Structure formats: C-alpha cells, structure tokens
Structure 1
Amino acid sequence: MHHDTILFSIEDGVATLTLNRPAVMNALNRQMRQEMTQVLTSLPPEVRCVVMTGAGRGFCSGQDLTDASAAADLEGTLRDEYEPMLQAVRQCRAPVIAAVNGVAAGAGANLALAADVVIATESASFIQAFTRIGLIPDAGGTWIIPRAVGAARAMGMMLFAQPVSARQAADWGLIWQALPDAEFVEGVAASARALAEGPTGAYLAIREAVTASFEHDMPAQLALEARLQGQAGRSADFGEGVSAFLQKRPPVFSGR
C-alpha cells in the first residue's frame, strides 16, 4: 500500500515505520497521523516487532504548525487524530521500539515515549516545546512523563521547554537507552531482532501489567499477574522455553 508521509517495510519479522517528511523534520500533519494509525492497526501477522523512526536528521518536530485546520480546533484534532494514533502505538500487537534518531519535540517526543522501549542516539534530545507557543504538553505527555521521571522533572521539562539530551533522558529513566551515534543503527537492529525472535504474547502481557501497575494496589496487581501468567503458561512459547531449558539449547519462539 502506498503512503505519502511514512515509509513502511518488513524484514525478518521486524516492521520499520519511518516518519518521512524530512524537509519539515517529520512534522505531524493529518495525513501522517492517519497513515500511522492505519499501518499500526493493520500489521500483517508476520510482524513481531515494530521500529518507529524518522527520516533525515530529526525524529519528529511535533505538530505541523502550518496546518491551520488543526490549530483552529486543537481539542478535536487531539481527540479525533492523535488519540487513535497513540492508542495504535500503545495497543500494537507487537512490541514497539522508538528509534529516536534526532530531535523529538512536542507531540513528536510524546509519540516516541508512547512506545514500549525508546532507544535514542546520543545526539538526540527530547523537548516539551509547547509553552513556547502558549500550549500545554499533549499527545500523552502529561501521563507518560510524570510516571517515568516524577513530578519535579516533568514540571521542569514542561515549564521551561528546554531540550533534555538523550543521555540525560536515559539517566532519568525517561527512556531505555542512549547509544553513541556510531552504534545507534546496529544497536536498534539488534534490539529489534531480539524482540522479533521473542515470546510476543509475554511481551504484550508485560506491557499490560506495567501500564496497570500505576493504578493498582499490590493485591490487585498480584491478581493481574496471576491471570496474565496463567495465559502465558498456556502458550506454545512457554512449552518451547521449558523444553529448550531442559535440553540446554536456545529456544525457538513462534510468538504464539
């Protein structure tokens, strides 16, 4: 299927989704949001990991500010266009790696942070740029960031709208990994391969459990763990994992 604002390819179970408006630092317009949502919600069955990245020197500069219709109705745009895209990331039926290859600003930063794992190149940075134009962080930023780094750092990022380097973001626990620029491409590829060869069902259950943990007391979380573990214990991948362990060989997971 042809897409105008993104590139999409699949190799060895890894789908690569590239935001592809490099002339405007991959700014998000309506068409890009629709294409992202469409691709993420209709992945072919062979996809077992998604890598989301940006073309050119940046990851995503956020909302395309030349898009007058979006600016005229920010509430409607968030509800009708951003929410489906973010839910498509959060509910993707394969784990999602955001490979942040450069600046991630505004909604672009929060799109990246919605992924299961964020790997950034050391020269990248994350900017909650919204107050520069008199707005508040959106696209899930006010939910994701305080949970990751606490209120003090979240407020500082959001009030001052200053770039947080990839290294700082990793030190804070905002992202998983900041890699030296020379190691970034291979590092992302290795992580994507590992997830694509892994027990997909377990990965999705982990996402569900970790997300729920912020709302649960411990008894509720223990009950959820038991239910999800019961589900995992009935999977072909669990059977394969145990067999491989007993036979002292690497497991070959099917993702089922």
Structure 2
Amino acid sequence: MNSSPAVRMERHGDNGDSGEIALIVLQDSARMNPLGRPLQLRLRELLAEVREDTSLRALVLTAEGRGFCVGADLSSMGGAQGGAQADGRTLGAQTADNMHQLSNRLILDLQQLPVPVVCAINGAAAGAGVGLALAGDVALAARSAYFYLPFLPRLGIVPDLGTTWFIERRLGRARALGLSLLGDRLGAQQAADWGLVWACVDDEALREQALATAARLARLPAGAVLEARRALDHAAASTLEQQLHYEAERQRDLVGAPAFMEGVQAFMQKREPVFAPRQPG
C-alpha cells in the first residue's frame, strides 16, 4: 500500500492486523485536515481497497488533532480573484469541475460502500467537512466537536459535498436553513439531541466507541447496509402505499436467502447468528 502523510489505514478486530474493521485516519492535523486534492485522491484509493477486500466488514473514518475536517483547502485558492485561470476557466468553473470529478465522487464512494461506515468526528467539522462527516451510516461526535457552515454568511456560496442533502433530511428545513444562514456553531451534544448524529461521546472514548460500534455492524449480514440505505432512500421519495409495495418486493428476494435462514436457525437454537462474509463481485 502506498504511503501518504495525509491519510493512513489500519485493520482492527479480534485478530489484530487481520481484523475485519478498516480504520481510516485523516492526519494532516496541523491544518485540521482540509480537503486538498492529494488527501481526497488517497482517501478514494483507500475506500476502493475497502470495497474490494471482502474480508473487511466495516469501516471507521476519523481524524487526528483538533479538527475532523475543515472543508476546502482555501489556501490553494488564496491568490484567486475570480477571473480566468491559466487554463482559461473561471475559478468557479474550475471549482465545479473539481467537485464533479473528485469531491462529489468521494461522498458517493462512502454512500455506496458495501460495508457499514462509522464516522468518528473527533473535532471541528466545518464547511465541506460537514458533508464528509455525515456521509457515513452512523456518526459519533466527540464532546468537543462541533459543526460549522460558513458557506453563505462568510463566503456567499452554498453548502456543498452533500451537506444540504444531509442536514435537511436529518434536521428539517427550519434548522437546516438556520444553520446555513446564521453560521452558528452546532455543538456535538446539541447535534445528537437534534438527531444530526447518532451519539455524543467523551473525547477520550471516541475511537474505542467507534471501533466497538463498527464491530457490532461487522456482524450484520453481508449486504444489510446496502438494503437499509436503499429502503430509506426509497421511503424518502415514496407514498406509504409505494413503500409498502417496495418492502414486500424486497422480502420476496430476501426471505429464504442464506442470511434469513441462518437468522431463523439462530433464533430457534437461542444463539447469536453467524453470517457469511461478503462475496467478491
């Protein structure tokens, strides 16, 4: 595996380095982990490794230092005045193209990963870092962490990397608009109380709690996280009648499958089910 000063990956589990949980850590801590191009490229490479390695059954994404991720690397745009760039594109066109080609794909990589994703938010999640923090399946926030959307009040641009999609669905329109327009920091405990994240935990316990949560998720049937995501996405755009039909049709395929049969046998035998790992392809 190629090394990178900005991102590293470890394996955790009962068997040490041969465990079933991938831990990906952003470690540009001196700069609070901005989303520079090298970091994003390396992160996508590691997510591809997780996707292809069927022995991995869960992922924890976290960071080192005081910040989880402070969003775009504005230092790389510091000399820009909004005019044409060296290649003839405006700064806005260059930014949008980079988002289409890299940053947006990073968020989709996380959302489409065939294993559950736990985001352990160790510190500030600001700007596009909010979208990254919310792109997993279960978000745990350290007590000192906070969420900050400076896009509109400070920069006159819209929240991006899926931030508007995530916060509107989790918080509702009123709170999503308030956070977007006022730019107030949302502390971890309030974020948990509002339902933006799964839980707020003490700083020193964050990584241990995240790995323990990932260990629980790793025991799920292969494909369970994909089914859950798809079912909830379908529900968000469906009537009750349409969703009832969707659920019945999914059961047509899933009831009687190996995972269901193992679950029934485990219930009858009063034991925990043991589900088969992911299969290639």
CA contact (8 A) 2:20 2:218 kept: yes
Match of 1:227 among 239, 242, 249: 249
Structure of higher CA gyration radius: 2
Match of 2:60 among 51, 61, 66: 51
Match of 1:179 among 201, 207, 216: 201
Pairwise CA distance, 1:234: 4.1
Q: Distance in 2 between matches of 1:89 and 1:225?
A: 24
Give yes or no for the alignment of 1:125 onto 2:171: no
- 1:96-111 to structure 2, matched below 5 A, reads 96-111=117-132
Give yes or no for the alignment of 1:26 onto 2:46: no
Q: Distance in 1 between matches of 2:105 and 2:225?
A: 22
- Tell me what 1:2 maps to: 2
Q: Distance in 2 between matches of 1:62 and 1:3?
A: 22
Q: Deviations over 1:184-239 (max 9, x none)?
A: 22221210110112223222201111122111112222222223333332432222
Pairwise CA distance, 1:128: 1.1
What secondary structure does 1:67 align onto?
A: helix
Name the amino acid aligned to 2:226.
Answer: L
Give yes or no for the alignment of 1:87 onto 2:142: no
Name the amino acid aligned to 2:41.
Answer: Q
Q: Deviations over 1:40-73 (max 9, x none)?
A: 133211111110101222111111111239x722
- Tell me what 2:48 maps to: 41
Q: Distance in 1 between matches of 2:56 and 2:107?
A: 19
Aligned residues: CA RMSD = 1.8
Q: Distance in 2 between matches of 1:91 and 1:128?
A: 25
Q: Distance in 2 between matches of 1:158 and 1:87?
A: 22
Q: Which runs of 4+ in 1 moved over 3 A?
A: none
Identity of aligned residues (%): 38
Pairwise CA distance, 1:160: 1.3
Unaligned 5+ runs, structure 1: none
What secondary structure does 1:229 align onto?
A: helix
Name the amino acid aligned to 2:31.
Answer: V
Q: Deviations over 1:123-149 (max 9, x none)?
A: 111111212122210001111111110
TM-score after normalising by structure 1: 0.94
Aligned residues: 256
Pairwise CA distance, 1:168: 0.6
